Structure 1
Amino acid sequence: MLAQAMAELMPVEKLEDVLAYPNKNSENQPLVRVVRTYPDYEYLMKNKHFLKYFSPKELPRIKKLGSNKDYQKLAKVLHNGLGRRIARFKKAEEEAKGIPAKFLILLLGLLLLFVVFFAEIEENVKWLIIAVALGIGFLYVISNATAGLGRRLMPTESTGPKLIVDNSTRHNAPFVDATGSRAGALLGDCKHDPLQSGGLGTPAHLRVEAGAIHQANKGVLFIDEIASLRLNWQQELLTAMQEKQYPITGQSEMSSGALVKTRPVPSDFVLVAAGNLPDMKQIHPALRSRIRGGGYEVYVEDSLDDTSENEEKLVRFIAQEIKKDGKIPHFNKEAVSEIIEEARKMSGRRKKFTLNLRELGGLVRAAGDVARDKGLKLVTKDEVREAKKIFKSIESQLGASIIERKREYQTIVTKGAEIGRVNGLAVLGDSRAGLVLPIVAEAAPSASKSEGHVIATGKLGVIAKEAVDNVSAIFKKYVGTGISRTDLHIQFLQTYEGVEGDSASISTAVAVISALSNIPVHQGVAMTGSLDVRGKVLPVGGVSSKIEAAAEAGIKKVLIPEANAKDVYVTKKTKVKLVKVQNIQDVLKHALKDCSEKKKLLKKIGG
């Protein structure tokens, strides 16, 4: 969207058409000619040989609009650019010089028919003439099916230009989306000619095809996921940016087009590229250096401030999505408010709106489809809420299925109290799908005589392993001596998908402390939060999704970091008691079952 907006702001008067001409001195090096797409009167006076391509009625209007610098109106008046006019003029001029091939074939066919039916010749000769006629007809079909064969059968070879970049009918600077393009589509190509031998081939200049970098000349070239381009393509792209021109050649080494290389073709474009942070290392360093040297590297935020101005922009966005779809009904005020509330929730941060407009637009369309199925003229908040259930991502649907399966097999326990068992909370993958993550800890005599070990299992990632190491400092400090001869086993139950991140730190700490001190943990309590080595609870992401997952699992109380309190966006139907915690003492106070050992432990921690 930003790239398209940039193209609309760029000047139209600089648009250029490009024509490829045959090179008499070197057949495989076609000549290139660049002309102004919409020339003003001053340009035509400097190049008077172009005047013949415009009618006497057009010249006064060109003079008037050119002097007023009204190039957009000039583009609408001329309609056909100079390059297209030249190509058509040359083609008509060439056709006028010789007898059309169709006429010759028709004349020859009539002559053969006359000989067969009216001339007194032997029967076998007649059949021979019929066979010859059929052969000529077959050759004519082949000549039309294979590019260039018909031209080469003519007495004169085609010398007319080929228009390879045509900006006719454009009223704005070109915007070219080259996302996913291969080398030929991006950098230009020369077609393979299977009939290049024996004088039957297509002339080199007629096989030249401009690439996206040439089509975007004087405009904007947009490439999404730029890291997906091969490094050698990125180098060629860099060359085109630096030189502002790039010759066209065949991109396949096995093709006859590889022998062809044109003179440099203009490629003066503004590159707008997009990618993801993990892919930055796959972008050529020289290309990044060029971008920083002549432009900007911009990190696009994933959220915006929750202000009345931005709220109005979201309302406008909803209206645009409805208009763009064209099939769904409009939204009433309550439905719009529900969408805006979902934008707050999707951001996962206090006083922020999400900038994931693609997903937000999907929710708008889903709500519209629900209302249309009901035959409603306006979408209400009920349809939006119903659409949220339909609109769930694969991860969310999978998360609900996993929770149901674990509850069925009693992997998730939500009642009673158990030693060393805690219901942690997590998000599934990169989505906003919450998941209840049971964690079990057990203390056993050390297998080593020298020291005890902390053994964590469950396909833990790097950050998750480091979080377990950090938590070790907590229970070593508060539980007391004797740990040096104890092995602590921590298991993240049935985490076949793997565990990453530190949001299960407080859950791990509670499970281990419970196992070491033999104090049961309330199973109706779930928790999420990170811990530093001094026992302070730190904020985490995806709090709202985790709370909803806990509610769906039947958990009644959820412990969250105090810093995340304003990040919570849950519906009123989510019947869960939220408890804000600041440190490990607060966590243990709400998670452990009341008993004398608990009082002693809290007293020891409180100092």
Structure 2
Amino acid sequence: MIEPLPVGRYRKTYDVKDVSCKSTEDLTPVEEIIGQERALRALTFGLNIEEKGFNLYISGVPGTGRKTAVCKFLQELAKSKPKGNDWIYVNNFRDQYEPNAIRLPAGIGKKFRASMADFVAEVQRVIPKVFESEDYANRRQAALREIEQDKAKLFEEINSKANEKGFTIQGSPNGILTIPTKDGKPLSQEEFMALPEEEQQRFQEQREELAVEMRKAFRLMRELDQKENETVEKLTKDVSLDAMSPALKKLKDPYGGIDEINEYLTAVSTDILDNLPLFLTQPGQTPQEQQQSPLMNPFYRQMIFRKYEVNVIVDNSESEGAPVIFEQNASYPNLFGKVEKEVQYGVVTTDFTMIRPGSMHKANGGYMVIPVEDLFRTPYTYDGLKNALKTGKLAIEEPGERMGYIFAKGIKPEPIPLDIKVVLIGTPLANQVLFTQDPDFSELFKVKAEFDTSMDWNAGNAKKYAAFICTMCRNENLKHLDATGIARVVEYGSRLAEDQEKLTTRFARIADIVREASFYATQDKAKYTTGEHVQKAIEEKIHRSNLIQEKIQEFITRDIYLIDTKNSTPGQINGLSVIGLGDIEFGRPSRVTASVSVGRDGIIDIERQAALGGPTHTKGVMILSGYLSDKYARNKPLSLSARLVFEQSYEGVDGDSASSTELYAILSALSGIPIRQSLAVTGSVNQKGIVQAIGGVNQKIEGFFDICKAKGLTGEQGVMIPASNVEHLMLKDEIIQAAKQGKFSIYPVSTIDEGIEVLTGVKAGERRADGTFDKDTVNFLVDKKLTEMAETLREFRGPGA
């Protein structure tokens, strides 16, 4: 018969004497990442290798410190790397719809933007002044003097030819008129009409001859006018270039070594010379007209001169080393940037100054950290990331335009070369889905760093726990923990790991307990946080979330949910399951019953028939048929119909941890031997009758203990668990005290035979050489019953059945 488990194995304790300090105040804060050596090794490799495609996927469950560890690791690594470049967008004077991107050394972007603003302001100031100067007037007069002389000479020549033919030339609003003369005196229209017809005819012939000469002269006059305009235009540009040359030289000096800047400044100066009227008032305007000109409107001037602005989209002037960006909201615009728009006079417009960067731009030349789940919350984001990594370019475009849904005309900024290491943070499940469903994923994210949920409980790691607590207390100004508090936190870490040999690495949950315990220590005006404060924090955290658990317990004590903790009944047993509500998990006892009859149906899972059983639970029930056939049906057919059900279960049932429980119920129903209702059972079973480990063993034991305590502890109650789960026990103090007083017991079993003996008090029975079992044992009675059922079925069907 299996003996109860010794109380000393109910929980692993951390002796206060083993704590190496009086309080965490005496310790040095820890800077390293605790308990993740494998992940750190992968991080070191993945972040330092330069080859394409070696981006990282950080795999782990939330709370293991993935984000904190990665950001801390990256920040230290980035300090040893060169700063990222600045990036600016400027107007493309050849095509304003395709702005140019220019790479600049870190910190130069803002300086160049300020220098350009000063340059444009200086040009706006000096160019109007130079055209108001006497020097410009003299140069203009000198440049035009020869042309004016040529014009006067040409006019004299045509006028002389006109006089020879009896005409004089006069200007009018309608052009140049040729007027006939007589005796040197111009004739009026009436006088001309009074002349004899022969004389009028002669004048007409002379006029036609003169018209040929005048057309030739007018052509020469137009050429002189064009020459005059060209001369004035050249002089204007020369004077303007001379005027802005000092400012242009001052602008070029700091940035002359950057080829793209030189090309841009050349384009700027050419555009200014081509658009000088924007910098000048119109000739002949009065001061009042000049003030009313649109060019004097600040908004209009700002719009006109916006094309000379510099849009700094990435500024690394204040960064230390390579940039590290953690994107909390990985939408498409937040990652890849966008082009904003504005409404002017009812028209939607945009230009290069409204280009806005994304996180990928800011992280270019460094590291980008993204929670993988966020990539799938907005359309096209994951595809955009893959495209950027595959092409090595960052293109700012509308997602809809990329997919062919938007055709409105807009600007198309020049793509920026991408040099970045992307780190995705996600769960193991997300990694599995991406790896198996997306062929590109394995090519772009070649390195996986996996964060473990637990680490070994040894002296070194216990000290690291204490150092972690010290770091927390100093960073967050919490009360330091004394030795009892440290010991209690370490034990709680083992409880979360559900293993006496392990400590959890889900430090977020440890940190929450330390914070809450510090709050209670502050209320008590204690110098340090003690083990009692830590225990109170643990209990209060449970109490805030266990309303449903208490309601279930109340229903059981009021016999609304039927759970027997004192009697013995055949075919009935107390099973244990775990209910998870997100922030809390607790054990719930359930009555499991089995009924048997003659038949060929085998084991019928009522939960499955009612569509309440999950696949794992169904598998566990099917294994029972294998066990019964292997043990009892070697010399006869298994003529059995057995029905299993979780009584008063109205939600889904899954998992195989109740398979041994269900098997005990069937064996009891077949043998007719009652099962002790003072015991609850958990554990899965294989076809050979070996009891296997299950999860949530602590919650299951505590759930049944709470029911027994509420109904009254008799000293007979306890829980039967798989022997392989003993090392996972980290039970609460209340159960340990009850066990010490002989009021509650735990029975570890390795086989179904061991378990049935504990539950019934009857020997299981060994198989003898002839295939039968020891008389009056459980197995003997089960085998006898199955033989009788087989005979009954054969007789019922008749001879030859």
Assess same fold via TM > 0.5: yes
Listed as ranges, the matches of 1:501-516 within 5 Å are 501-516=655-670
The correspondence of residues 525-540 of structure 1 with structure 2, limited to 5 A, is 525-540=679-694
* 2:671 corresponding residue in structure 1: 517
On the 8 A contact 1:179/1:225 being kept in 2, the answer is: no
Amino acid at match of 1:237: L
Query: Does 1:159 find its partner at 2:308?
Result: yes
Partner of 2:102: 33
CA–CA distance in 1 between the matches of 2:530 and 2:389? 51
Residue 360 of structure 2, aligned match among 213, 226, 249: 213
Q: Structure 1 pair 150/405, CA: closer, same or farther in 2 (3 Å)? A: farther
Partner amino acid, structure 2, of 1:592: T
**Which of 328, 340, 359 matches 2:509?**
359
Query: In the superposition, relative to structure 1, how do residues 163 and 286 fare at CA in structure 2: closer, same or farther (>3 Å)?
Result: farther
Distance 1:156 1:374, change over 3 A: same
Local SS of the residue matching 2:325: strand
* 1:361 CA displacement: 1.0
Q: 2:460 corresponds to which residue?
A: 309
Indicate the residue corresponding to 2:756 in structure 1.
588
Matching residue within 437, 448, 469 for 2:589: 437
Instruction: Return closer, same or farther for 1:23/1:14 CA change in 2, 3 Å cut-off.
Output: same
- One-letter identity of the residue aligned with 1:312: K
Is 1:8 aligned to 2:76, yes or no? yes
Query: How many residues were matched structurally?
Result: 511
State the match for 2:90 in structure 1.
21
Q: What are the Cα deviations for residues 536-574 of structure 1, in whole angstroms up to 9, with x where unaligned? A: 011112222222222212173111111111111113321
2:364 corresponds to which letter in structure 1? N
> Is the contact between residue 406 and residue 412 of structure 1 (CA under 8 Å) also seen in structure 2?
yes
Q: How does 1:390-429 map to 2 (within 5 A)?
A: 390-392=540-542, 396-408=546-558, 409-429=560-580
Match of 1:568 in 2: 729
1:466 matched residue in structure 2: 619
Distance in structure 1 (CA, Å) of the matches to 2:636 and 2:670: 10
**1:194 pairs with 2:343:** yes
Match of 1:85 in 2: 111
Residue identity in the other structure for 1:558: V
Give per-residue Cα distances to partners, 1:435-457, cap 9 Å, x unaligned: 123142232546xx754451331
TM (normalized to structure 1)? Answer: 0.76
Residues 605 and 621, structure 2, Cα contact 8 Å, conserved in 1:
no
TM alignment of 1:137-286, pairs within 5 A:
150=299, 155-195=304-344, 201-202=349-350, 204-226=351-373, 228-229=375-376, 232-251=380-399, 259-280=410-431, 282-283=433-434, 285-286=438-439
The answer on whether the counterparts of 1:368 and 1:379 sit within 8 Å (CA) in structure 2 is yes
Counterparts of 1:508 and 1:450 in 2: how far apart (Å)? 19
Residues 1:215 and 1:494: Cα distance change in structure 2 (over 3 Å): farther
Separation in 2 of the partners of 1:314 and 1:257? Answer: 59
Residues 195-247 of structure 1, C-alpha deviations (whole Å, 9 max, x = no match)? 3976x844x21111111111111221111134752673222212222333211
**1:379 deviation in Å?**
0.8
1:560 is paired with a residue whose SS is: strand
Give the partner amino acid of 1:369: F
Q: Distance in 2 between matches of 1:323 and 1:493?
A: 53
Cα deviation, residue 470, structure 1: 0.6
Contact 2:337 2:356 in 1 (8 A): yes
Residue type at the aligned position of 1:18: W
Distance 2:603 2:780 in 1: 27
Q: Is the 8 A contact 2:332 2:380 kept in 1?
A: no
Listed as ranges, the gaps of 5+ residues in structure 1 are 38-80, 100-135, 144-148
Q: Which amino acid aligns with 2:777?
A: K
> Helix, strand or coil for the counterpart of 2:642?
strand
Distance in 1 between residues matched to 2:120 and 2:676, nearest whole Å: 91
User: How far 1:251 moved relative to its partner?
Assistant: 3.7
8 Å Cα contact 2:606-2:643 kept in structure 1 = yes
Cα distance between partner residues in 2 of 1:395 and 1:497: 20
Structure 2 distance, partners of 1:232, 1:544, is: 45
Residue 340 of structure 1: CA displacement?
0.5
**CA distance 1:151–1:478, change in 2 (3 Å):** farther
| Change in CA separation of 1:548 and 1:324 when aligned onto 2, cut-off 3 Å | farther
Residue by residue over 1:284-309, the C-alpha shift from the partner in whole angstroms, topping out at 9 and shown as x without a partner, is: 624421244xx412332111111222
The alignment yields a C-alpha RMSD, in angstroms, of 3.3
The whole-number CA distance in structure 1 between the counterparts of 2:625 and 2:678 is: 25
Alpha-carbon distance between aligned partners in 1 of 2:409 and 2:592, rounded to the nearest angstrom = 65
Map of 1:43 onto structure 2: none
SS in 2 for 1:259: coil
Deviation (angstroms), 1:353: 0.8
Give the residue type in structure 2 aligned to 1:9.
Answer: L
SS of 1:15 mapped into structure 2: coil
Q: Match for 1:548 among 677, 702, 707?
A: 702
In 1, the alpha carbon distance for the partners of 2:723 and 2:513 equals 30
Letter in 1 for 2:384: E
* Aligned residue in 2 for 1:127: none
Which one-letter code corresponds to 2:76 in the other structure?
E
State the Cα distance separating 1:185 from its structure 2 match: 0.3
Change (3 A) 1:453 1:470: closer
- Superposed CA deviations along residues 499-527 of structure 1, whole A, max 9, x for unmatched, are 22111111111122222222221111112
Q: Which residue of 2 aligns with 1:345?
A: 495
Q: Could you tell me whether the CA contact under 8 Å between 1:520 and 1:593 is conserved in 2?
A: no
In the alignment, the residues of structure 2 paired with residue 444 and residue 471 of structure 1 have an alpha-carbon distance, to the nearest angstrom, of 14
For the 8 Å contact 1:213–1:240, the answer to whether it is kept is: no
Bigger RCO of structures 1 and 2 (CA < 8 A, at least 6 apart):
2
Partners of 1:17 and 1:350 in 2: CA distance: 53
Alpha-carbon distance in structure 2 between the residues aligned to 1:422 and 1:152: 88
Q: Is the 8 A contact 1:250 1:261 kept in 2?
A: no
Q: 2:476 aligns with which of 317, 325, 330?
A: 325
Contact 2:365/2:420 (8 A) holds in 1: yes
